[in-house]
Amino acid sequence: MITSVSLFAFRNYLKESVPLRAGVNLLLGANAQGKTNLLEAVYLGATGRSPRATVLAEMVMWEQAGARVRLEFDDDGAEHSVEVRLERDDSSRRTKRSLVLDGKPVGAQTLAGRLRMVLFSPEEMTLIRGSGEGRRRLLNGLLTQADADYAATLSRYSRVLEQRNQLIKRIAQDLEPIDTLAWWSAEISRLGGELVRARRRAIDELIPVVAAKYAEVAPGEQLALRYAPNVVDDGDPEAAIAAELARRQREEIARGLTVAGPHRDDLEFELGGLPAAAHASQGQQRTAILAFKLAEVEVLSAGPRSPVLLLDDVMSELDAPRRQHLVELVEASPQAIITSAEEGYFPPGFVDRVHTRRVVSGHLVAASG
C-alpha cells in the first residue's frame, strides 16, 4: 500500500506531499488543475515509466533543472521508499532518469511487480479502434508486473531492436557491411521468441477471465480475445522470426528499420464473432477495455501483492450501470486513487465515506475547501 507521494517540480506541482490511505482516495477538481498529473506521478514512481509522456522533459516543470517523485509504501509490514529523479542535461539537451529504492540506485527492472498498478484512463477506453501499439501496451503492462522475467526480456528486446535499427541505417549508407546484421538478427529472434511464448501463455489465461468480466457488465453479449503475432509460426516462434527477417532483409535496408517481430504484434477483440474495431459501438468498445482492465485486476490480485487501482476520470466515459460496477470493484480493492471533475458520477454517500480531497492549481486541499 502506498502511504504518501511527494512531488517536486513535477508538471504543475512545485512542491507537494500527499498522504494516501487504504481504501479509496478520491481527488476532485476542475480540468487542468493537476489530477491526471498526480496519477501519472504515482504510476511513474511505481514502475519507473510514465503512462502518457513521450519524452522525460515533458514531466519537468518549466524553467526547473529537474523533478522528483517519491513514494512511501508498506510491503509486508515493512516501510519502503522509491524515488524517481529527472534531471535536465544542458550539454546534451536531454533529460536523464534515475531510480532509487530504499536509498540505493536501481534499474527499472528491479521495480517490476514491486508496486502493482492497474490504470484506467480515458485514452485507454479508445484503444480498440486505434493502432496496435496501444493494445500491445495493455498486454506488456500486465506481463511486466506479473512476470519479472518477461520485464527483463522486454527491456533487452527493446534495446536490441533500437541498436539493430541503427545498424540497418548504417548498412543502407554503406557505413557497415551487411554481414554485421547476423548477430543482431539472431538476438532479435531469440528474445522475440521468448516474448511470443509468454504472450501466448498470458492470453490463454486471460481469454476466459476477460469474457466473464464482459458478461458481468454487459449480459447477453460475448467478447473474445485473440493474440495476433506479427510473424505466424508453427510452434517455434524464434525460427519463424529468423526466417522472416532473412526473407525481408532487402526491405529492411530500404526502409531503415526492423520490419518483423513481436514489436508489431497485436491484440484483437471480437464481439459476437466479429472484429470489435469495425462492428462494436463506442459503448461496447469501452466496455471491452473495461473488461480487460477488470481481468488485469483479477490476474494481478492472484499474486503476493494486490494492485493499486488508478482511475483517471473514467466515470465520464461510462454509462450509469458500468459506473456502478466499477465503483463496487473500487470499494472492494485494498487501495484505489480516483480522479473526477464531477461528484455526480458517484452513488449517494460515496464522496463522504471515502478519503476525498480537492486539487486546485497543483495543490491538494480539504474536500470542503
183-227 per-position pLDDT tens digit: 999 999 999 999 999 999 999 999 999 999 999 888 899 999 999
Whole-model pTM: value is: 0.90
Helices (H), the chain: 35-47, 108-111, 132-146, 148-172, 181-217, 237-247, 249-255, 276-279, 282-301, 320-332, 350-353
Task: Give every CB contact of residue 112 below 8 A, 6+ residues apart in sequence.
Answer: 47, 144, 145, 148, 151, 152
What average pLDDT does the structure give for the chain? 93
Reading the block at residue 319, the C-alpha cell is: 454509462
When pLDDT is cut at 50, 70 and 90, the band that residue 369 belongs to is: very low
Over residues 363-369, mean pLDDT: 80
Residue 27, C-beta contacts closer than 8 angstroms, at least 6 positions apart: 35, 38, 337, 338, 339, 340, 356, 357, 358, 359, 364
CA of residue 346 relative to chain centroid, distance: 25
pLDDT at 266: 97
Q: Which of 227-241, 262-276, 292-306 has the lowest mean pLDDT?
A: 292-306
Top CATH class, 1-116+309-369: alpha beta
* Percent above pLDDT 70 for the chain: 99
For the chain, the straight-line distance linking the first and the last C-alpha, in angstroms and rounded, comes to: 27
Banded pLDDT at 240 (limits 50, 70, 90): very high
* 84 contacts 44 by C-beta, under 8 angstroms: yes
pLDDT of residue 316: 87
Q: What is the pLDDT of residue 218?
A: 87
Per-residue pLDDT at 368: 65
Domain boundaries of the chain, sorted by first residue = 1-116+309-369
Q: Bigger pLDDT: 77 or 350? A: 350
Taking only the tens place, the pLDDT of each residue in 319-358 is 888 888 889 889 999 999 999 999 999 999 999 999 999 9
Span 128-177, pLDDT tens digits: 998 999 999 999 999 999 998 999 999 999 999 999 999 999 999 999 99
Q: Is the pLDDT of residue 246 over 90?
A: yes
Residue 89 has pLDDT above 50, yes or no: yes
Q: Please say if the pLDDT value at position 92 is more than 80.
A: no
